[in-house]
Amino acid sequence: MIYIVNKSTDPAYNIALEEFCFKELKHFDKIFILWINEPAIIVGKHQNTQAEINTRFVQENGIHVVRRITGGGAVYHDLNNLNYTIISNEKEGENDFDFKTFSQPVIETLAELGTTAEFSGRNDITIDGKKICGNAQAYAGNRVMHHGCLLFDTDLSVLSKALEVSKETVDFKGVKSVRSRVDNILPNLPVKITVNEFADKILDQMIRTFPEMKEYHFGEAEKQEIEKARREKFANWDWTYGHNPVAEVIREKRFPAGRIQVFLNIGNGKIKGIRFYGTFFGKNSDLTVPQEILKEVRYTPSDIKNALSQFDTSQYFAGFSLDELTEAIVD
């Protein structure tokens, strides 16, 4: 197992670094990364970016906007919150997301600092019922990447404004994240520390849990690959905004496992094109298969449900039943 202390605060570079570790450093069974971003909104892979942000506020305040490769909702980062990433190979027979296990080192660190935190709901960590951390995951084969965004001493007024769609766009249809009551960690600590000291505490906890863990330093060729991905993908407008679709029919539903928005083009009673967006997760984040299977299917509940039953929908929409997916697409 290795750990990486990433000193970059460039959001696009940091997401590129995550992806590089996830996809290229497969010879390491487990990887742990700590990182901090400049003010940024990080949107989920399947979200409609413009439905998540207050565009004018974001532009006026120089806030970065970057799309990540994991599902879930949009989050706000600044220099006083801490992000952590855990990458590991999934054990054979494990098919479900295990946010709770991945979040345990954070909960244990907070306990040592005198604060009781709990795992709550689908993928959150809370203190006194208020969310201090959101989590997301991505899969590639048997490899899983889990990351968390810890609100340490974030400017919550900026967070609220940056994630509030402007009143000028009240008619804009988009995949909106579910906003939770949030709080910072620092006010809940009996002894005040800095975000960097907090990062050191979490790293110490990980080293105690995994004493074999060693620090890893990127070579020059690896740094160049990460920079290339930052420049060509994560800092690219097409990646962050170009996924936003145009469609004749837009449907949006929320279920216990998350929110789904469906963009449909229908002709002669059949689906000619379909795109899925939302805060859902899946082991397979490439939605090409379900979107292609549903093309030319008659736009009726029975036909759509039958088409969905032809493949394992849980690989793409974890936690959703066949009936829920059908309801999301058609009444």
What whole-number distance in Å separates Cα of residue 228 and Cα of residue 60?
A: 28
Residues 6+ apart with CB under 8 A from 313: 290, 320, 322, 325
20 and 158 share a domain? yes
pLDDT at 282: 84
* β-pair partners for 145: 87, 138
269: DSSP letter = T
Place of tokens 């170009």: 242
What whole-number distance in Å separates Cα of residue 290 and Cα of residue 25?
A: 29
What whole-number distance in Å separates Cα of residue 245 and Cα of residue 219?
A: 39
Length of the chain equals 331
User: What CATH number has the domain bearing residue 287?
Assistant: 3.30.390.50
User: What CATH number has the domain bearing residue 220?
Assistant: 3.30.930.10
Last residue of a domain, one of 187, 212, 240: 240
What whole-number distance in Å separates Cα of residue 173 and Cα of residue 106?
A: 36
Exposure of 78 by Cβ count < 10 A (0-12 exposed, 13-18 middle, 19+ buried)?
buried
pLDDT at 226: 98
236 and 267 share a domain? no
90: DSSP letter = P
Last residue of a domain, one of 207, 240, 273: 240
16 and 99 share a domain? yes
| Sheet with strand 118-120: strands edge to edge | 118-120, 124-127, 130-140, 143-151, 81-89, 30-35, 2-5, 214-215
161 and 286 share a domain? no
What whole-number distance in Å separates Cα of residue 281 and Cα of residue 291?
A: 16
155: DSSP letter = -
48 and 190 share a domain? yes
pLDDT at 173: 41
94 and 233 share a domain? yes
C-beta of residue 143 within 8 angstroms of C-beta of residue 87: yes
Closest C-alpha among 188, 180, 197 to residue 133: 180
What whole-number distance in Å separates Cα of residue 85 and Cα of residue 99?
A: 12
175 and 324 share a domain? no
| Domains: count for the chain | 2
206 and 57 share a domain? yes
pLDDT at 31: 94
37: DSSP letter = -
pLDDT at 152: 95
Q: Strands 214-215, 2-5: parallel, antiparallel or unpaired by DSSP?
A: parallel
Residue 130's H or E segment, with its range, is: strand 130-140
Last residue of a domain, one of 240, 259, 278: 240
C-beta of residue 158 within 8 angstroms of C-beta of residue 191: no
39 and 115 share a domain? yes
204 and 270 share a domain? no
Give the pLDDT of the chain (331 residues) as one tens digit per residue: 999 999 999 999 999 999 999 999 999 988 999 999 999 999 988 887 777 888 889 989 999 999 998 888 888 999 999 999 999 887 655 555 566 777 788 899 999 999 999 887 767 889 998 989 878 888 877 888 888 889 999 998 898 898 876 443 333 344 444 445 788 999 999 999 999 999 999 999 989 888 999 999 999 999 999 999 999 999 998 898 876 555 677 888 889 888 898 888 888 778 999 999 888 888 887 899 999 999 999 888 899 999 999 999 998 998 999 999 999 998 7
91 and 141 share a domain? yes
Buried residues in 301-321 as b, exposed as e (16+ CB within 10 A): eebbbebbeeeebbebbbbbe
Model-level pTM? Answer: 0.74
User: Residue 324 belongs to what domain range?
Assistant: 249-329
216 and 309 share a domain? no
pLDDT at 93: 52
Q: How far is CA 74 from CA 96, 104, 133, 177, 300, in A?
A: 22, 23, 12, 6, 32
pLDDT at 191: 95
What whole-number distance in Å separates Cα of residue 156 and Cα of residue 166?
A: 17
What whole-number distance in Å separates Cα of residue 265 and Cα of residue 272?
A: 5
